[in-house]
Amino acid sequence: MLVLTSIVFFASGVIIGSCNLFEFENKIEPVQDFNINNFKLSFSNILRNNLHVLLLLIGGSFFAGVPTFFGLLINGIPLGIIIRLGRVALFLTLPHSILEIPAIITAGAAGFKIPYEIIRYLVGRKEQVLTREDVKEYLTLALISVVLIVIAAWIEANVTLKIAEHFLSK
């Protein structure tokens, strides 16, 4: 249920990005003009950025899931833009996205876990606000998302960027 909720909100962001609702393409240079040498994308920089995203999503659990909702929506938008830009952009993000997207969705599920359990308690569907099992599931989801994001950041820094350098230098 929580994973499905995360998928729906993330997918909503993808749809917003792909529908050009805010005319993103006027603000984005074409992929052909992209110069990989202008960017200092190291494993540590990529990982730090991605961990900030996960912290927002997972930590949203302590703020009724509101930051999690907006975080999923906002993080889906770039994928929608990439889809709109076409196959080249999608191809260049594919290697690390295979793990990054599930990490974001899993972190979103963690971010919804505590509010979900509180709501269940308030409507009388459970006797205790948070059980040991609830906390264990929350921490498991958080840990899975962190492991996935670390691997995705390594792939982005060491595989995706190499592919982009090779492909875009032609």
Res. 31 pLDDT band, cuts 50 70 90:
very low
Q: Tell me how crowded residue 90 is: count the other CB atoms within 10 A of its CB.
A: 15
pTM assigned to the model = 0.86
DSSP string, 50-79: HHHHHHHHHHGGGGTTHHHHHHHHHHHHHH
pLDDT in tens, 92-136: 888 899 999 999 999 999 999 999 999 999 999 999 999 999 999
Sign of CA dihedral 86, 92, 95, 96: negative
Residue 68 has pLDDT above 90, yes or no: yes
- pLDDT at position 90 over 90: no
Mean pLDDT in residue range 71-85: 93
pLDDT at 44: 95
Q: Which of 57-61, 157-161, 162-166 has the lowest mean pLDDT?
A: 162-166
Instruction: Give the confidence band of 52 by pLDDT, cuts at 50, 70, 90.
Output: very high
- Token pair recorded at residue 117: 């359990």
Report the mean per-residue pLDDT for the chain: 89
CA separation for the pair 105, 116 (Å, rounded):
16
User: CA-to-CA distance for 64 and 42, rounded, in angstroms?
Assistant: 34
